[in-house]
Amino acid sequence: MWIETLKNGKYKYNERYKDPYNEKTKYVSVTLAKDTPQAQKEALRLLNEKIDRKIQKQTQSDITLAELFEKWQALHFPSVKSRTKLTYSQTIYYANELLDTSSLVRNIDTSFIQSFFENEKIMKQSNGYKKNHKMVLNMIFSFAEDMGYLQINPVKKVKVPKKEKTIDQINNIRNKYLTMEELSELLKAMQSENNNYCLIAEFLARTGLRYGECIALCEENIKGDKIEIVGSVDSINGIAKPKITSPKNLNSYRVIEIDRRTKEILNMQIERNTIFSVNERYCNDEKRIFCTRYGGIVSNKEFNKFLKSAKEKTTIKKELTSHIFRHTHISLLAELNVPIKAISERVGHGNQSTTLEIYNHVTENMKSNIVNKLDKISLL
């Protein structure tokens, strides 16, 4: 330590240290009013504290895998939706069960993570689940890399074993959406039992909105011949405490054009709500368009339950949930030769894999139909 006398009469205490990252010599200093033995002792203490803070190497951290999970969850969970938390939590649950979470993060390598994916419990899971596991682990170890807990993200080179698709799985794409005939048959069955649910289903099929986006739609979101999607209903923790949240991702914030029938459905719902609003039990301050007779949230669980009931009155064999109408909308647009990019933007897809899967299947069928139509043409 050396001391400099400043022009203002104070004293600058200096000390050098070696930067652990580039091994270059650097300096720290403190300024005190006096140059006495007590002042020198205090200056030395302050300088050492400064140096300790400067050279604290996170790469030498003794953080364990369990501690990393806790740190990552504390940082990321407050900013994500309940369903996303469930996805993250599933991976962490299996990792806690199948990996030694007392392991030091700095010592974890690719083979350590590879053992997770080669465990029998994970091997039995679908390719989609395994893909999610790798995504979550990659996020966690990217965070660890950024924080300096280890040098290289070990997840990047992990190979995820994939199950071979069965014939049923390959053909399963056709079960993800309804044909025009199936949609018409289902809507007629629904209308005879519950017209409110029927209108929700038709609205979903005509707009491609997610169920939560549809239920969160308010009168103020109608902009003439367009609607803006700025919210979603999150009822993952039960319908007792549903809440309006932001949409699923940035691509989900969008404005879409609507056809005449869709606008008619919206007007019918608003008129219905006005009639029901005279009831003292009615409560819908947000003026949500699709609601119960008392202004409450229309539960996705109850809606899906009704779909299964209505299905029994049809010839449809496909599994029915509210999400099938979103896929149906994609298939309808594909049949109308709407470009894939325009479809993805309309439905708010950040990842186009599902859109492409349905689009390609529909367009392949359209090609087959062309040949069938040509076969029926007799020119001579």
186 vs 53, which has greater pLDDT? Answer: 186
Q: How far is CA 320 from CA 5, 183, 259, 297, 327, in A?
A: 82, 11, 25, 20, 11
Mean pLDDT (whole number) for 188-197: 94
CB atoms within 10 A of CB 254: 18
3-class SS of residue 285: coil
Q: Is 369 helix (H, G, I), strand (E, B) or coil?
A: helix
Q: Which of 68-82, 109-123, 224-238, 282-296 has the lowest mean pLDDT?
A: 224-238
Sign of CA dihedral 209, 214, 216, 217: positive
Could you tell me the pLDDT band of residue 128, with boundaries at 50, 70 and 90?
A: confident
Torsion of CA 137, 162, 100, 132, to 10 degrees: 30
In tens, the pLDDT along 276-308 reads 999 999 999 999 999 999 999 999 999 999 999
Asked if 210 contacts 248 with a C-beta cutoff of 8 angstroms, the reply is: yes
- Residue span(s) of the chain under CATH 1.10.150.130 come to 65-163
Say if CB 151 and CB 141 are below 8 A apart: no
Q: Which of 63-77, 226-240, 360-374 has the lowest mean pLDDT?
A: 360-374
Catalytic center residues: 210, 241, 323, 326, 349, 359
297 SS3 class: coil
- Dihedral over Cα of 302, 307, 313, 318: its sign: negative
Query: Bridge partners of 289?
Result: none
**CA–CA gap between residue 238 and residue 251 (Å, rounded):** 26
Angle between helices 340-347 and 353-375 (to 10 degrees): 130
CATH number of 173-372: 1.10.443.10
Residue 233's φ and ψ, nearest 5 degrees, are -95, 125
Q: Which CATH class is domain 65-163?
A: mainly alpha
* CATH 1.10.443.10 placement within the chain: 173-372
- Would you say how long the chain is, in residues? 380
Token couple for 16: 């050098």
Asked whether residue 120 carries a pLDDT value surpassing 80, the answer given is: yes
pLDDT of residue 259 exceeding 80: yes
Q: Which band of pLDDT confidence, cut at 50, 70 and 90, is reported for residue 375?
A: low
